Amino acid sequence: MPGSTLLHIDGVEKRFGGFVAVDGLSLEVKAGEFFALLGPSGCGKTTLLRMLAGFETPDCGRILLDGTDIAGVLPHRRPVNMMFQSYALFPHLNVSDNIAFGLKRAGMARDEIATRVAEMIALGRLEGLERRKPNQLSGGQQQRVALARALALRPRLLLLDEPLGALDKKLRDSTQRELMDLQRRLGTSFIIVTHDQDEAMTMADRIGVMNHGRLVQVATPRQLYEQPASRWVAEFVGDVNIFEGRIERREDQRLVIACHNTGAIVAAAPRQSLAGEAVCVAIRPEKMKLSRQGPAEAAIQAGAINRLEGTVSNLGYLGDISSYGIALDAGATLRVSVTNTARVDVDDFRPGERVVVWFEPDDCVVLDP
Amino acid sequence: MSTRQLFTRPARRAAIAPYLWMVLFFLLPFAFVAKIALSQSALAQPPYLPTFDLTAGWEALKAAAATLSLDNFRLIFSDELYANSYLRSLLVAATSTTLLLLLGYPVAYAIARLPERWQPIAMVLVIIPFWTSFLIRVYAWINILQHDGLLNQVLMALHVISAPLVWLSTDSAMYIGIIYSYLPFMILPLYASLAKLQPSLLEAAQDLGASPAKSFWLVTFPLSLPGVGAGVLLCFIPIVGEFVIPDLLAGSGDMMIGQTLWLEFFANKDWPLAAAIAVMLLGILLVPLLVYEHIQRRQLEGKQ
């Protein structure tokens, strides 16, 4: 039943002493979905995951799995499995026995266990390592054993707590792809907790951004990046230039905003209603264009395009992109990134050079300050 | 990686220190004891023959060495008294160690499960009895266990017994004394290995369907085995040679090997026989040590 609701979290709250870790949170996760919980450390994402696994009991609220409330069910009786951040492999058991641990507890027949373990060994590409103890494995191999062990019982829902946190960057990238492939193939719902937004953006169908125990936005990676629900989300996910100002006038689909240190910015009117006249304008660095002349004068006169003048103050070359720091004449500093599409004959902007920064009204997101 | 690559030159030099220590404080004294064990008791000062006089020259030394014999060991094997002493020592040590493990494990487990800030306090409480002399503590037990002692008074006040029981000079008293004295040696290594246990391993076990009791037997207990091994050795070996506790608390019937040794050494002034008993005891105690060492080496190899 792809698309049907598998998990329904309803008004769940958890306090530790006076600290509210999860604050009346509600969320639905669909069967077969890859869902990421993203947030800064201490935002409550791990506590929420631990409540799903059964290691913490919510103070109030319901956790419905396939319509059954599991909020008070002990961890060993839940049809949910978890992959731990530290992997938590049993050091005294070899790879096969680690994978078979849950199968034995489930009372599966001997030959059935052997078949399933072999299947999981193949799934985790662990052939030849069956008799190794965890401390004889590399970090990447340990990670795959932990995943195979958590998937061996074929849970409807797999919880992953920072599953790639201990891997180096190269391995992390390839493992991300493996995890996505695996999730599509098995159709298991994954809920992953991460503080790494690239990881969440790459892998997840939907991302729930958490802060102070609440979900501040639940959206697809694209929505999250292009239509952040608040200034906090815009600043938390990716790089962004934020200009504060006041709405000067409204003209059908557009707002003209007088910003304190850039001058007037023409922005597309937001879909959501704004709290007041004081607003901020968020523009991603790659949405801005940089040139020595700027766009055609006609376009500017039509009011279609924002044009800001300034000086290059610094430049960072990152290979795929170059990131420029620009000091505007009006006082603001901003970052503009330019994709390096050509390899030779590149005419970089030098620090101290006069430049024009321009961008479309549609590239601006107007948010409450 | 081999030791050669692992250590720098000064580090390798420092690695000699334990061997030097072993030679100075174990091998050399042991050589003296072994030599006395091969000598004959005599009315002399020291009370055995032969004595090696390094100034007397090579021929005299050779002649003295020729008089060394295994007579004392033959005597130990021929007289049942000694075999019984050894057996009783091993039996008492095995029984006490088993009881110590059964008592010490729950205590160590409970301490390891305390909130972190309470754990050091609990450990201090375990160790605090050491601040009083061992001898005084064993003497205190004589007071507690005697006919009108605290134990009988309490049991009678609680109406568990109607007349005082005889505790002192029984095996029960000896076991109480041994268990009381050695419990910290069991708890400390057990606690050390239990405290190291990652809580996430138990969570993983439960997540995979193991009940808390199953998780204990399948994860906690096997991972605490190094601590169990260390605690068992730390108790078993000194208890086998224990002298003070059986001498003060047990009856005057069967003797443990420490008592027999004391008797030969101080009462009978037979240094060579006492030395032979000691050498034999060491031989017997090497067995569990070698077994433990073998297990540890296998675990170490597993890690590489």
Task: Report the pLDDT value the prediction gives residue A211, as an integer from 0 to 100.
Answer: 94
In angstroms, rounded to a whole number, what is the distance separating the alpha carbons of residues A29 and A170?
Answer: 30
Average pLDDT over residues A111-129: 94
> Does residue B89 fall inside a structural domain?
yes
Q: Are residues A221 and A295 in the same domain?
A: no
Residue A139 amino acid letter? G
Q: Which of A256, A280, A282 is nearest to A269 (CA)?
A: A256
> Does residue B279 fall inside a structural domain?
yes
The proportion of chain B whose per-residue pLDDT surpasses 90, expressed as a percent, equals 66
pLDDT in tens, A236-251: 999 999 999 999 888 8
Q: Is residue A299 scored above 70 in pLDDT?
A: no
Task: Report the pLDDT value the prediction gives residue B124, as an integer from 0 to 100.
Answer: 94
Query: In the listed set A196, A231, A266, which residue is the last one of a domain according to the structure?
Result: A231
pLDDT band at A188; cut points 50, 70, 90: very high
Q: List the Cα angle B146/B150/B156 in 5-degree steps.
A: 100
Judge whether A28 and A5 are in contact, CB under 8 Å. Answer: yes
Task: Report the pLDDT value the prediction gives residue A301, as an integer from 0 to 100.
Answer: 63
Q: How far apart are the CA of A252 and the nearest CA of chain B, in angstroms?
A: 57
> Does residue B54 fall inside a structural domain?
no
Structure tokens at B45: 């000062």
| Packing angle of the helix pair A95-105, A110-123 (nearest 10 deg) | 130
Query: In the listed set A170, A197, A231, which residue is the last one of a domain according to the structure?
Result: A231
Average pLDDT over residues B270-274: 92
> Does residue B272 fall inside a structural domain?
yes
Number of domains in chain A: 2
Q: What residues 135-164 of chain B have any CB closer than 8 A to a CB of chain A? A: none
pLDDT in tens, A197-221: 999 999 999 999 999 999 999 999 9
Q: Do B207 and A75 touch (CB under 8 A)?
A: yes
> Does residue B22 fall inside a structural domain?
no
- Rg of the Cα atoms in chain A: 25
Task: Report the pLDDT value the prediction gives residue A27, as an integer from 0 to 100.
Answer: 96
Q: B193: burial class by Cβ within 10 Å (0-12, 13-18, 19+)? A: buried
Number of domains in chain B: 1
Q: Do B210 and A101 touch (CB under 8 A)?
A: yes
Q: Are residues A201 and A343 in the same domain?
A: no
| Omega cis (within 30) before B50 | yes
pLDDT in tens, B46-92: 888 888 877 878 888 888 888 888 999 999 999 999 999 999 999 99
Q: Which chain A residues are within 8 Å of B303, Cβ to Cβ? A: 133, 135-136
Q: Which of A235, A237, A187, A231 is nearest to A208 (CA)?
A: A237
Q: How far apart are the CA of A83 and the nearest CA of chain B, in angstroms?
A: 8
Q: Are residues A94 and A196 in the same domain?
A: yes
> Does residue B51 fall inside a structural domain?
no
Q: How far apart are the CA of A156 and the nearest CA of chain B, in angstroms?
A: 14
Q: Do B208 and A53 touch (CB under 8 A)?
A: no
Domain that holds residue B139: 76-303
> Does residue B140 fall inside a structural domain?
yes
Q: Which chain A residues are within 8 Å of B209, Cβ to Cβ? A: 76-77, 102, 105-106, 153
Sequence-distant (≥ 6) Cβ neighbours of residue B21 within 8 angstroms: none
- Phi and psi at residue A265, in whole multiples of 5°? -125, 130
| Ordered DSSP codes for A307-327 | EEEEEEEEEEE-SSEEEEEEE
Residue B36 amino acid letter? I
The SS3 of residue A176 is helix
Q: Are residues A294 and A346 in the same domain?
A: yes
Task: Report the pLDDT value the prediction gives residue A291, as an integer from 0 to 100.
Answer: 86
pLDDT in tens, A302-323: 666 788 889 999 989 888 899 9
Task: Report the pLDDT value the prediction gives residue A1, as an integer from 0 to 100.
Answer: 42
> Does residue B248 fall inside a structural domain?
yes
CATH number at residue A267: 2.40.50.100
Q: Are residues A61 and A95 in the same domain?
A: yes
Measured between CB atoms, which of B201, B207, B303 is closest to A90? B201
In angstroms, rounded to a whole number, what is the distance separating the alpha carbons of residues B69 and B37?
Answer: 9
Q: Are residues A195 and A293 in the same domain?
A: no
pLDDT band at A24; cut points 50, 70, 90: very high
Q: Are residues A65 and A18 in the same domain?
A: yes
The proportion of chain B whose per-residue pLDDT surpasses 70, expressed as a percent, equals 96
Q: Are residues A205 and A257 in the same domain?
A: no
Q: Which of A67, A39, A12, A346 is nearest to A218 (CA)?
A: A39
Q: Do B200 and A106 touch (CB under 8 A)?
A: no
Q: Which chain B residues are within 8 Å of A82, Cβ to Cβ? A: 203-204, 207
| Ordered DSSP codes for chain B | --HHHHS-HHHHHHTTHHHHHHIIIIIHHHHHHHHHHTSEE-SSSSSEE----GGG-HHHHHHHHHT--SHHHHHHHH-HHHHHHHHHHHHHHHHHHHHHHHHHHHHHHHHHHS-TTTHHHHHHHHHGGGGS-HHHHHHHHHHHHSTTSHHHHHHHHTTS-SS----TTSHHHHHHHHHHHHHHHHHHHHHHHHHTS-HHHHHHHHHTT--HHHHIIIIIHHHHHHHHHHHHHHHHHHHHT--HHHHHHS-SSS--HHHHHHIIIIIS--HHHHHHHHHHHHHHHHHHHHHHHHHHHHHHHHH-
Q: Do B218 and A101 touch (CB under 8 A)?
A: yes
Which region among A10-19, A112-121, A260-269, B100-109 has the lowest average model confidence (pLDDT)? A260-269
Q: Are residues A31 and A110 in the same domain?
A: yes
| Ordered DSSP codes for B201-268 | HHHHHHHTT--HHHHIIIIIHHHHHHHHHHHHHHHHHHHHT--HHHHHHS-SSS--HHHHHHIIIIIS
Q: pLDDT averaged over chain A?
A: 91
Q: How far apart are the CA of B86 and the nearest CA of chain A, in angstroms?
A: 37
pLDDT band at B1; cut points 50, 70, 90: very low
Average pLDDT over residues B185-201: 94
Q: Are residues A201 and A244 in the same domain?
A: no
Residues in chain B: 304
CATH number at residue B205: 1.10.3720.10
Query: In the listed set A212, A231, A250, which residue is the last one of a domain according to the structure?
Result: A231
- Phi and psi at residue A254, in whole multiples of 5°? -125, 155
Task: Report the pLDDT value the prediction gives residue A295, as an integer from 0 to 100.
Answer: 72
Residue A234 amino acid letter? A
Q: Do B205 and A101 touch (CB under 8 A)?
A: yes
Q: Which of A69, A73, A50 is nearest to A160 (CA)?
A: A50
HSE, side-chain direction, 13 A CA sphere, residue A206: 16
Nearest CA in chain B to A82: B207
Domain that holds residue A160: 5-231
Task: Report the pLDDT value the prediction gives residue A304, as an integer from 0 to 100.
Answer: 60
Nearest CA in chain B to A107: B209
Q: Are residues A149 and A220 in the same domain?
A: yes
Q: Are residues A78 and A101 in the same domain?
A: yes
CATH number at residue A151: 3.40.50.300
Q: Which chain B residues are within 8 Å of A149, Cβ to Cβ? A: 208
ipTM for the predicted complex: 0.85
In angstroms, rounded to a whole number, what is the distance separating the alpha carbons of residues A108 and A116?
Answer: 10
In angstroms, rounded to a whole number, what is the distance separating the alpha carbons of residues B110 and B41?
Answer: 53
Chosen for mutation from A89, A105, A135 (greatest number of chain B CBs closer than 10 Å) is A105
pLDDT in tens, B113-167: 999 999 999 999 999 988 999 999 999 999 999 988 999 999 999 998 888 889 8
Q: Which residue has the higher pLDDT, A124 or B1?
A: A124
